[in-house]
Amino acid sequence: MSADYQGVSCDKVQGMLIRCSNSEVTVNATRSRVCKDAFNVIKRRDMIGLLFGVSSAVTGAFEAEGAGLPPEEKPRLCDNSCEKELENVPMVTTESGLQYKDIKVGQGPSPPVGFQVAANYVAMVPSGQIFDSSLEKGQVYIFRVGSGQVIKGLDEGILSMKVGGKRRLYIPGSLAFPKGLNSAPGRPRVAPSSPVVFDVSLEYVPGLDIEEE
């Protein structure tokens, strides 16, 4: 279906604004047109290139909605059923202001200060948006606990865990990121000294043998 605008033949195309020579057609997301023949200057191959160029610019905005797809689901350590169970788990508050809830209490040993630990984590802003995750990277995070290699709240929270345990840490700004973290595609910004939430599982402590029967 076509129409003429100021002598230029145009076809309907969803959600675009195209300038053709001396003619400009502006339409909304339900009624859009692309110039097909502006005074015989734009050839078919040029129009195809133009069409693809515009499509790539609007793909991000319409792709998920147009395909009827849900927002991207990121892997988590605590799913929906876990979230409901956490509502009934008592909150523990330490002297530093760190708060936590145990999703699962481990059966192994607690890591001594200075030992390496292997942990999985999902780091979130209070709204629940993920800004970092070992699950997405596909490998456990290994660091020396209690030595300042991670933020203070994570250090403290893991030291009192046991191997095999899983915990949600509510880390106040004073124990989080003093300088904050910049935003990235698909990642929220973390403001300086703002509270964050970490779900963490203590997988194992390299070099620490379990001798207890």
Instruction: Read off the pLDDT band of 30 (50, 70, 90).
Output: very low
Range of the domain at 165: 80-204
pLDDT at residue number 146: 96
Greater model confidence, 194 or 38: 194
CA distance 213 to 206: 19
Instruction: Specify if 155 maps to a domain.
Output: yes
Asked if residue 197 and residue 95 are part of one domain, the reply reads: yes
SS3 for 44?
A: helix
CB 120 within 8 A of CB 135: yes
Asked if residue 16 and residue 103 are part of one domain, the reply reads: no
Confidence check: pLDDT of 73 > 50: yes
Asked if residue 157 and residue 58 are part of one domain, the reply reads: no
pLDDT at residue number 199: 98
Confidence check: pLDDT of 79 > 70: yes
Asked if residue 101 and residue 21 are part of one domain, the reply reads: no
Characterise 107 by phi-psi region: left (phi > 0), alpha (psi -120 to 50), beta (else): alpha
The structure tokens listed for 117 are 């630990």
Lowest mean pLDDT among 88-97, 163-172, 174-183, 203-212: 203-212
pLDDT at residue number 208: 80
Q: Phi and psi at residue 61, in whole multiples of 5°? A: -80, -30
CA distance 164 to 104: 8
CA nearest to 123, candidates 76, 166, 81, 64 = 76
Instruction: Read off the pLDDT band of 209 (50, 70, 90).
Output: low
CA nearest to 111, candidates 162, 167, 166, 149 = 162
Over range 132-154, report the average pLDDT: 96
Asked if residue 119 and residue 43 are part of one domain, the reply reads: no
